[in-house]
Amino acid sequence: MAVKIADPLLMREINKYHVLETIRCYGRISRVEISEQTLLSGTTVSAITAALIEEGLIEAIHTAPTNDSQRGRPRVLLGLVADAAYVAGIKISETQMTATIADFRGETVAVLQLPIRLARQPAEVIVDLIEDALRDCIARSGVDVGRIKGVGIGVHGIVDPRSGRSHAGPVFGEREVPLAQMLEARMGMPVKIDKSAHLVALAESWFGYAQKDRSFAVVTLDRTAGLGLWIEEEIHRGASGLGPAFGHTKVGNEGRPCICGQMDCLNTYLTVPELEAAVAGAGSGEPARNAAAMLTALAEKADAGDRAAARTVAVHAEKLGLGLSHVVNLINPEKIIVAVDTPRYGQLLEPALRESLMANSFPAHWAATKLIFHTLDDQMWARGAAALMLRDIYSAPWTAA
C-alpha cells in the first residue's frame, strides 16, 4: 500500500509536536534554537509558534540581553503555559494507589496516596476506588474538573494500550478488564492505560536520568521483570502493541515451568521459593503481597547473614544480567536504568548484575552502554502516567478552546 508522505495536515501536526516537545524539554528556548534543534526552517518555526501563542499553549518571555552586542534588545524566549491544560495520572498496585494532577509542563500540582488493598477485588470495586481517588486528588488541586483533559493509568502485568484492557496482572489477576472504558464512563474524559515499565520509561525521559537521550531501556522489578524500551524518542511496542516480554526471556536450562507454558523464563528465577520464604510472617504473620515489602525483607535477611536470602539475590543478579545482555547485544541502548522501589535491594543486586552483564555482552556494545540504578517512588510512576496523556495532547489536533 502506498504511503502518503506529503499530507500537509499530517506534516503540520508532526512539526507542531516536535516544536512543543523541544520547548518542553528545554523549558525556555528561542525560535532560532528551536529551528536548530528540530531542523525546521525559521519560517516554519515562526508560523507554528505564532499559532501556539494564539492558542494559549505557549508564551513569549522577554529577558534581558546576555551580552554587550545585544544591549537594549530584550531576548525573546518561548515557554509552555503551565495552566493551558491539566491531566491526571494514577498508578495502581496490589496494596497502594497513587494519583497525581499535572499541568501542561508536566509539573505536579497535587498528589494523593492511598494505602488500600486492590488485588483480586471485583473490577467494578477497583474502578470505583480509582474514580474516588481521582476526584479527591482533583479537588485537592483546586483545578476545575472540566479543565482535566484526560487520565493516564499505570498497571502491572499485560496491558493492551490500544484496546484499553488489562489482560493479566497482580491487581486484576487473569481477568480481561476493559479498564479504560470503565473509567471513561465514570469520569467523562479520555483514559489511556499502559504497563508500568512503559510509564517509568516515559517518566525517565521527561523527569529522570534519560532526559534528551534517544535510546535507553528501563527495567522494573517486583515479582516479575518488566522492560520499557525507548528507541528514537518513542516507546517501542512491537507488532503486538504490548511491548517487550522481558520476563519471558530464556535465561537457564533447569526446566523451571513458567505460567506462559514454557520453561526457564526470567520470571521463574525472580519468583523462587526462597523469596516467598523471606517475607513469610512479616508483620501480621501473613505473606506480604506488596512487591517492595518482599524485596525489602529479602535484603534485610541477606544483610543479616541468611544464606538462602543471599543466594536468592545472587540468582536474581545473575539471571537479570543475562537477560539484559540480550538487550545490550540487540539494541545497544545508551543507558539501562534498573528501577527499584527498594534501595538496599538495588545495592545488593548491582555488583553481581554488572558482572553478569559484562560477561555476557558484546564488549564494544557494553562499553557504550551506561548502567544506572534508580530508586523510584509511586509519584514518579504516576507522573509517567500523566506524561502519557500529555504526549497524546501534544501530538493530537487540539486547541485551548
- Residue that is written with C-alpha cell 520547548 in the block: 23
pLDDT at 103 over 80: yes
pLDDT at 90 over 50: yes
Under CATH, domain 209-375 is a member of which superfamily? ATPase, nucleotide binding domain (3.30.420.40)
Q: What is the pLDDT of residue 61?
A: 87
Q: What is the pLDDT of residue 7?
A: 65
pLDDT (mean) for 173-181 = 84
pLDDT at 328 over 90: yes
pLDDT at 208 over 90: no
Q: What is the pLDDT of residue 219?
A: 94
Q: What is the pLDDT of residue 384?
A: 87
In this prediction, residue 289 has a pLDDT band, given cuts at 50, 70 and 90, of low
Tell me the per-residue pLDDT of 21-76, one tens digit each, with 9 for 90 and over: 889 888 889 999 999 988 999 899 999 999 999 988 889 888 776 665 555 567 78
pLDDT at 284 over 50: no
Tell me the per-residue pLDDT of 346-366, one tens digit each, with 9 for 90 and over: 999 999 999 999 999 999 999
Share of the chain above pLDDT 70, in %: 89
- Residue that is written with C-alpha cell 502518503 in the block: 4
158-160 and 148-155 strand pairing: unpaired
157 Cβ contact partners less than 8 Å away, ≥ 6 residues apart: 166, 167, 168, 169, 170, 171, 172, 195
Tell me the per-residue pLDDT of 120-167, one tens digit each, with 9 for 90 and over: 788 899 999 999 999 999 999 999 999 999 999 988 888 888 888 888
Q: Which residues pair with 191 in a beta bridge?
A: 151
- b/e burial code for range 223-244 (CB count within 10 A of at least 16 → b): bbbbbbbbeeeebbbeeeebbb
Closest C-alpha to 353, from 394, 387, 389, 320: 320
Q: What is the pLDDT of residue 66?
A: 61
* Shared fold status for 8-80 and 209-375: no
Q: What is the pLDDT of residue 287?
A: 41
Q: What is the pLDDT of residue 15?
A: 86
How many other C-beta atoms lie within 10 A of the C-beta of residue 284? 7
Report which of residues 379 and 348 the model is more confident about: 348
**Mean pLDDT across the chain, nearest whole number?**
85
pLDDT (mean) for 387-391 = 85
How many other C-beta atoms lie within 10 A of the C-beta of residue 64? 9
Share of the chain above pLDDT 90, in %: 43
pLDDT (mean) for 271-284 = 58
Q: What is the distance between the alpha carbons of residues 173 and 166, in angstroms, rounded to a whole number?
A: 9
Tell me the per-residue pLDDT of 209-264, one tens digit each, with 9 for 90 and over: 998 888 999 999 876 789 999 998 788 988 888 889 999 999 999 999 988 889 99
Topology of domain 8-80 in CATH is Arc Repressor Mutant, subunit A (1.10.10)
Give the CATH architecture of domain 85-200+380-395: 2-Layer Sandwich (3.30)
> What dihedral do alpha carbons 292, 296, 298, 301 form, nearest 10°?
-170
**DSSP assignments along 3-40, one per residue:** -----HHHHHHHHHHHHHHHHHHHSSB-HHHHHHHH--
Domain spans in the chain, listed from the N-terminal domain onward: 8-80, 85-200+380-395, 209-375
pLDDT at 401 over 80: no
